[in-house]
Structure 1
Amino acid sequence: MAQKPDVTPTDADLDALDVTDAEAAEINAIAHPLVADPAPDANDDLVQIRSTADGVVFVTINRPQKKNAFDAATIAALREAFETLHGADHVRLVFLRGAGGTFCAGADLEWMRDAVDWSESDNRDDAMGLAKMLKALHDVPALTVALVEGAAMGGGAGLVAACDMAVAVKGAKFAFSEVRLGLIPATIAPYVVEAVGPRAARRLFATAELFDADAARDFGLIDRVLPSADALDDLIAELSTAMRAVAPGAVGDAKRLVHHVAGHKLDSGLMDDTARRIARARVSDEGQEGVRAFLDKRKPRWAE
């Protein structure tokens, strides 16, 4: 194999982020998986799913020794987890995170080494696995929230963009470093462009620059920056409480409404479609219960 290209952040990159030498070493270790040889997985439980009685689900990428980098098996496990959540009526809120203090470092080194010798057809089939996993996450009916610690690089940042909401702990780092390897962030592009807009996406994809949580918030990739990992528990409690007050079925319908109307011309066809959707909601079980509960000055069944 050819000598590994230098894809680590430059001194100027690190100075701009105002990081210490120790932090710089950690960033260099996860700026792209090509710079660090992965350790073996501790176990075969690549993705962990934990749920609470009130419908809050935690999906955790469980490859901390490899900084939760993707390989085909991990992608397949994530897709299975997300597709399972499509049919789980009791689920109100889904948190996505990485084990061991890193969200996701992108592509696994061994997986990338294997792909070097694949045909274009083989690579297309492999890439479709990632594309389908991201679509499965995007289409989860419940509110999905990425909890970013450490770093989200390449495909990891794509996971962040595919969620409905994202928060990051201060000090988290992000990059779309594919062009440094002569590649492009193709499968994650629809979600990143939706999150940050075309102009910012062109900049971030073309420069492969390393940016911090505050910049990620400015770009629109994340919604909130938390002062430390200790604040995650309060954020989880806050959102869990908020989601108990809303109808689970209506949340899924509202998300599908956004996906449908985004980018559509405001014409008679769209007006007719939205009128049909609200009419259907008004006669649904949740719609009837919600309005009657409001008029009766009581909590609806899902909030009890």
Structure 2
Amino acid sequence: MLETISVTVDPRGVATLTLNRPEKHNAMSAQMIRELTQAAVQLGSDGTVRVVVLTGAGKSFCAGGDLGWMQDQMAADPQTRFVEARKLAEMLQALNVMPKPLIGALQGNAFGGGVGLAAVCDVAIGVETLKMGLTETRLGLIPATIGPYVVARMGAARARRVFMSARLFDAAEAVDLGLLAKTVSAEDMADAVEAEVEPYLSCAPGAVASAKALVHGLGPRVDDPVIDQTIRALVARWETDEAHEGISAFFDKRKPVWNS
């Protein structure tokens, strides 16, 4: 039984994959990471599914990694950290290579890993009031496992504007950065998503899957060596004094030493 996400499929084969921890701003816990991976595999192999829409319940699309999950990683041994980081990386890659069009409907803010989820979508639409940000460096961490997808979507030059500074940016800048295709009002979101969905229903599903695979093959490579590099980078960063200080400061509701 799914507890942190929900999946529905309409008679046309349009699946809606909803992050469903609204009370936690849809932050990604270990369970959500596992359930998202399972959903990506199942939807990708379901011949009745033509298109997948990724969205969130509540006010936020995704606040990133669940801080309780991060705290667990800080207390874990290096091997456990490596295993958990790989689960996160494999979830992102499962969504990225899913042989169905993936349309992001960002009904609210996206931070950290939430930006990564937007980046693995084939197209992402956001409400015009949302905020986004790669906020990891505020905690002494880095946007490691999401990094290949974010850089592939933005390009290195645009990524450097926001990848290291942790500054927040609005929906208009997210379009300029390439993260969002367009912004709409909350009232117009359903129509905007439908406009993206409808053309696929007249396309050959196998051709769509092959075309998506070709795009991945022609674009920046996100393969096993790249994913392993990001996992090592994240695990190494978790072991630093800065990461321990950043996570501790968050839970202590104080500023970290570099922001005092």
Q: TM-score range by the shorter chain?
A: 0.7 to 0.9
Partner of 2:65: 107
TM-score, length-scaled by structure 2: 0.82
Give the unaligned 5+ runs of structure 1: 1-42, 265-304
Alpha-carbon contact 2:102-2:123 (below 8 Å) kept: yes
Alpha-carbon contact 2:125-2:193 (below 8 Å) kept: no
Alpha-carbon contact 1:168-1:224 (below 8 Å) kept: yes
Please give the residue correspondences for 1:228-267 in structure 2 after superposition, counting only pairs within 5 Å.
228-262=185-219
Give the SS at the match of 1:152.
strand
Partner of 2:173: 215
Identity %: 42
Partner of 1:29: none
Partner of 2:39: 81
Q: Which has the larger Rg?
A: 1
Give the SS at the match of 1:205.
coil
Alpha-carbon contact 1:67-1:104 (below 8 Å) kept: yes
TM-score, length-scaled by structure 1: 0.70
Partner of 1:25: none
Q: Does residue 137 of structure 1 match 2:95? A: yes
State how far apart, in whole Å, the 1-side matches of 2:125 and 2:195 are. 13
Give the SS at the match of 1:187.
coil
Aligned match for 1:123, one of 76, 81, 90:
81
Q: Does residue 175 of structure 1 match 2:161? A: no
Aligned match for 1:225, one of 172, 183, 208:
183
Alpha-carbon contact 2:103-2:193 (below 8 Å) kept: no
Counterpart of 1:54, as a letter, is R
- Alignment coverage as a number of residue pairs: 221
State how far apart, in whole Å, the 2-side matches of 1:59 and 1:44 are. 11
Alpha-carbon contact 2:15-2:51 (below 8 Å) kept: yes
Deviations 1:40-62 (A, max 9, x none): xxx96211000011110000011
State how far apart, in whole Å, the 1-side matches of 2:189 and 2:170 are. 18
Q: Which has the higher contact order (CA 8 A, sep 6+)?
A: 2
Q: Cα RMSD over matched residues? A: 1.5
Give 1:241 shift.
2.1
Give the SS at the match of 1:103.
strand
Moved over 3 A (4+): none
State how far apart, in whole Å, the 2-side matches of 1:159 and 1:44 are. 19
Give 1:262 shift.
2.1
Partner of 1:267: none
**Which is further off, 201-210 or 168-177?**
201-210
